[in-house]
Structures are given as C-alpha cells and as structure tokens.
Amino acid sequence: MTIDVTPTEDAEARLAALVELSRRARALADAVVLTDVPESEVTAVAAELAALTERLGALRRESPRSFELGPGGVPRNVGNAVTGSANPHALPLVVRVTPERTVRAELSFRPVHAGPPASVHGGVSAMILDHLLGEAVAAAGFPGVTGTLTLRYRRPVPYGEPLVATAEYTRSEGRKTWAEGRIALPDGTALAEASGLFVTPAGWLGRGAGDETGSKSGQAPVRER
Amino acid sequence: MTIDVTPTEDAEARLAALVELSRRARALADAVVLTDVPESEVTAVAAELAALTERLGALRRESPRSFELGPGGVPRNVGNAVTGSANPHALPLVVRVTPERTVRAELSFRPVHAGPPASVHGGVSAMILDHLLGEAVAAAGFPGVTGTLTLRYRRPVPYGEPLVATAEYTRSEGRKTWAEGRIALPDGTALAEASGLFVTPAGWLGRGAGDETGSKSGQAPVRER
C-alpha cells in the first residue's frame, strides 16, 4: 500500500476539526434519543440539520478516511465504525496496548446503544468485542481478519457507567490465531465474553520490515476491520 | 409491565417528527465521514450542531424510549440501537416475519459502518446478526435473551449495496432455543453467518394471553435486546 499523503500542520488541524465535529454529532444523536421537546421544535431542528448536512456535502469524498499514517508515522484509522475519532457512529473505542501486549479499553456506552431497558444492546457489545479481539491478535504480532467469533452473554451491560474491555492473544497455529476478551465492570465482573479465531491473509505474510503494511518486529500494524 | 401511555394522534405526530429527525441525524453522520469541505466550514457547522443539540436538550428524558404499544396495540421499540426508527445510531434494521415464521430484513450499510477499505466492520455485521437471530426465536414463539452467539465471516460485506439478512428458528430444549441466520448478497451468497443460543428467562414463562408482555398464540411478542 502506498501512502501518498504526508501529514501537514494544515491537514492535522482539519482532522482535529473533523474529530470535534464527530464528537458534536454524537452528542446530537444522544440528544435525539432523549429529547422531550415539542413536535414543532423537533421539526425545526430537523430542518436546520438538513441544511448543515447540505453544507458538509458541498465537497464530498467517495469513501470514508481509512488507513493512513499520522504524525511520526503512527498508523490510524479515523473513519472506522468502532474506533474512528472522525466517525460519529464510533463509540469511539480507544484501545491501548499494555506492556504485556494485551489490549485494554476504558469505555462508557451511551443511551443510543440501548437495547433492553437500561441496558446496552447485545449486538453493540458484540461489535465492540469483535474489534477488541482483532486488536489483541495484532498486538501479539499476528494481525488477521476475523474468521469466527463466539460471544457469551453473562449479565446485562449498563450504559452511562464506566466499564473496562480487555482482550489477549491465546495461541497460534500456522496462519490461525486465537484470542479472548471481555467487557467487565471496573471490579472485574465479566458482563460479556468473547473468543475468536483470526486468520492472517496469505498476502500479509513474508513482508519485510520496510513495508509499512506488514508486521514489524515490536510494532503491531494497524488493523483494518 | 404496565403500559401507561395510550397512543394519541398528537403522540403519533410527535413520534413521526422524531423519526424524521433521526433520519436527518443519520444523513448528517454520513456527511461527516465523507465531507471534504475546508476546516473553517467544518468548525462552523460543528458550532451550529452544538446549538441544535442544546435546543433538543431543553427537555430531556432520563432514558431512551423503550418497549411501547403503538396504534392497534402493535408493540414497537423506537429507541432501540439496531432497529429503532427514532434512534440515529440504528441502521435502522426493518425486520419482517415471513409466512413461514422466519425473519427477513432488506438492508444497505452506509459509509459510517466502514471497517476495512470498502467493507463493513465485522463488528457491525455481528450487531445486526445478534438482533436478527433474536427476532427469529421470538417469531417462532420462543422469545429469549442471547446466551451465546457464534459468527462466521465468509466474505467482505460491502456498504452502499442492497443486501438481505435472514434468520430462522432451528430447535428448542426447555428454555433454550437455537437459531441461525446470515447476511447475504441478493443472489443468496452468504457473507456472514451466525448461530445462537437464546434463553427464555423463567419470569417470561407461564403468562396468560391477557398479559401484554408475554407470548400470545400466533403473535410473537416484541423483543427487547
């Protein structure tokens, strides 16, 4: 993959503005599901929203931003549906690699993620865990695409409360790699658990350290989910 | 569960306005991930968005709308994260029960659902399938909550193209029920498959036909996911 765009100060400032716009769009979505203002006000806001959408559409890309290298050559994917800071749909999930090369995300679901009363939709938990396990295999040096994923639902997942999601590599056989993870209360009580099999595409293997899309020793490549 | 609110014409008109507002909020999210307008315009739109959010927040509920009975006593869940027409986060997935009591949804993912380049995030497919399988067990008369769910990823799922998701009940043992489903191209080519075990909570059993939250002969209860 050739990365054409060298990040510049201007490009970084524009990205920061897009990240802020996405944050505002998430806040708007939260306000939509919680609003009790009268119908006339709902309709008035909808009309203004359409005008803002038209302004953003004055110059339109064909697809969201995908894999790119940020300052210092750090890979990022700001358009990703789960982690993308410039995507209003994303939680966004902020995943950190621990010194033990497991992955960890502190998160809090929002009212837009509701399924059962006062609880997060099981499908939303599945979405988060799929991503997290993929990050875990990448952090361990075995990046791959999800082959199979199994979810076990233990307890209702609340929204509006701090939670912790963690995942870790368990084993590999050839191009297959397994990982496990969970969404838990801060005290460690597991709410939803997942185990998954990831497959490293043949095309990802055998690339040298000079190839920015391959795995480098000591540096997990960005994952594209 | 007691349903206090009898739908009125006013309430239905207000809901229609909220559904339209949610549709506009989805269009805005799409515009955010695709916009290439200059930074100054991004910032200006973000400021106006904050003002609209504040207007919606002038009267604020504590939680999203959940299970309710619409006109004719038809159950609905307009705040649901996956199917809620009044929730900007929802696709929304519109699920229909076939005469054979399987479930079917025609859908098209959007750029906000992106993971790998030109493809839907595997976690988003998981989110949709979790919901659909739950609908399948409910349609078969065995409503339950997800116990385990296993996903198999076969091919990349595209966004911006018409797709079909289907699911069906497979078997039951006591309070456990199994279902299978898939997201496929219109020609039937499976892209992502799922099988799941659902458990009917003990408290849901033994309710009479007069209880609006229980299963009625010939009418699957609404599912709360």
Q: What is the CATH number of the domain that holds A129?
A: 3.10.129.10
Q: What contacts A2, CB < 8 A, 6 or more positions away?
A: none
In this complex, the residue of A42, A63, A131 whose CB is nearest that of residue B123 is A131
A62 occurs within a structural domain: no
Q: Which of A5-14, A159-168, B136-145 has the lowest mean pLDDT?
A: A5-14
A130 occurs within a structural domain: yes
Judged against a pLDDT cut of 50, whether residue A95 lies above it is answered with yes
- The ipTM, to two decimals, is 0.90
- Residues of chain A with C-beta less than 8 angstroms from the C-beta of B46: 17, 20-21, 24
Q: Which of A103-117, B91-105, B181-195, B198-212 has the lowest mean pLDDT?
A: B198-212
Q: At how many degrees (to 10) do helices A39-56 and B39-56 cross?
A: 170
Residue of A9, A12, A15, A42 to mutate for B, most B C-beta atoms under 10 A: A42
**A211 falls in which pLDDT band (50, 70, 90)?**
very low
Judged by a CB distance cut-off of 8 A, whether residue A2 touches chain B is: no
A94 alpha carbon, distance to own chain's centre: 7
Judged by a CB distance cut-off of 8 A, whether residue B171 touches chain A is: no
pLDDT, residue B205, reads: 78
Judged against a pLDDT cut of 60, whether residue A123 lies above it is answered with yes
**B211 falls in which pLDDT band (50, 70, 90)?**
very low
Give every strand in the sheet of A145-153, ordered side by side: A96-97, A103-107, A163-173, A176-184, A190-199, A145-153, B145-153, B190-199, B176-184, B163-173, B103-107, B96-97
* Alpha-carbon separation of residue B164 from A54, A161, B86 (angstroms): 30, 35, 22
pLDDT, residue B221, reads: 43
Dmax over CA atoms of chain A, in Å, equals 61
Judged against a pLDDT cut of 60, whether residue A78 lies above it is answered with yes
The DSSP secondary-structure symbol of B49 reads: H
Give yes or no for a contact between A113 and A121, defined as CB atoms under 8 angstroms apart.
Answer: yes
Q: What is the mean pLDDT of residues A164-171?
A: 98
Q: Nearest CA to CA, how far is A170 from chain B (Å)?
A: 18
Per residue in B167-176, pLDDT tens? 999 999 999 9
Judged by a CB distance cut-off of 8 A, whether residue A205 touches chain B is: no
Q: What is the mean pLDDT of residues B87-112?
A: 97
Answer yes or no: do A34 and B60 touch at CB < 8 A.
yes
- Residues of chain B with C-beta less than 8 angstroms from the C-beta of A124: 81-82, 127
Q: Which of B27-31, B122-126, B175-179, B203-207 has the lowest mean pLDDT?
A: B203-207
Judged by a CB distance cut-off of 8 A, whether residue A182 touches chain B is: no
Residues in chain A: 225
B13 occurs within a structural domain: no
Give yes or no for a contact between A214 and A194, defined as CB atoms under 8 angstroms apart.
Answer: no
Judged against a pLDDT cut of 80, whether residue A5 lies above it is answered with no
B27 occurs within a structural domain: no
Judged against a pLDDT cut of 80, whether residue B21 lies above it is answered with yes
Question: What residue of B is the nearest CA neighbor of A60?
Answer: B35
Give yes or no for a contact between B103 and B97, defined as CB atoms under 8 angstroms apart.
Answer: yes
**A6 falls in which pLDDT band (50, 70, 90)?**
low
Task: Kindly report the average pLDDT of chain B as a whole number.
Answer: 90
A41 occurs within a structural domain: no
Question: What residue of A is the nearest CA neighbor of B52?
Answer: A45
The SS3 assignment for A209 reads coil
Among residues 66-105 of chain B, which lie with CB inside 8 Å of chain A?
66-67, 79-82, 84, 86-89
Answer yes or no: do B153 and A146 touch at CB < 8 A.
yes
A80 occurs within a structural domain: no
**A98 falls in which pLDDT band (50, 70, 90)?**
very high
Judged against a pLDDT cut of 80, whether residue A69 lies above it is answered with yes
Question: What residue of A is the nearest CA neighbor of B149?
Answer: A151
Residue of B8, B36, B42, B223 to mutate for A, most A C-beta atoms under 10 A: B42
Structural domain of A188: 93-204
The SS3 assignment for B58 reads coil
Per residue in B48-95, pLDDT tens? 999 999 999 999 999 999 989 988 898 899 999 999 999 999 999 999
pLDDT, residue A223, reads: 52
Judged by a CB distance cut-off of 8 A, whether residue B3 touches chain A is: no
Among residues 142-161 of chain A, which lie with CB inside 8 Å of chain B?
145-153
Answer yes or no: do A126 and B123 touch at CB < 8 A.
yes
Q: What contacts B73, CB < 8 A, 6 or more positions away?
A: B212
Answer yes or no: do A127 and B121 touch at CB < 8 A.
yes
A225 occurs within a structural domain: no
Q: Which of A63-77, A82-96, B203-217 has the lowest mean pLDDT?
A: B203-217
**B119 falls in which pLDDT band (50, 70, 90)?**
very high
State the CB neighbour count (10 A cutoff) for residue B72. Answer: 6
Please state the domain count of chain B. 1
Give yes or no for a contact between A146 and A155, defined as CB atoms under 8 angstroms apart.
Answer: no
Q: Report the share of chain A in percent with pLDDT over 70.
A: 88
- Residues of chain B with C-beta less than 8 angstroms from the C-beta of A53: 24, 27-28, 31
Judged by a CB distance cut-off of 8 A, whether residue B35 touches chain A is: yes
pLDDT, residue B74, reads: 87
User: How many cross-chain Cβ pairs, A to B, lie less than 8 Å apart?
Assistant: 332
B32 occurs within a structural domain: no
pLDDT, residue A221, reads: 43
The SS3 assignment for B167 reads strand
Q: Which of A3-7, A14-18, A70-74 has the lowest mean pLDDT?
A: A3-7
Judged against a pLDDT cut of 90, whether residue A34 lies above it is answered with yes
Q: What is the mean pLDDT of residues B94-102?
A: 96
Q: What contacts A166, CB < 8 A, 6 or more positions away?
A: A102, A103, A104, A105, A132, A181, A182, A184
Q: Which of A141-145, B105-109, B186-190 has the lowest mean pLDDT?
A: A141-145
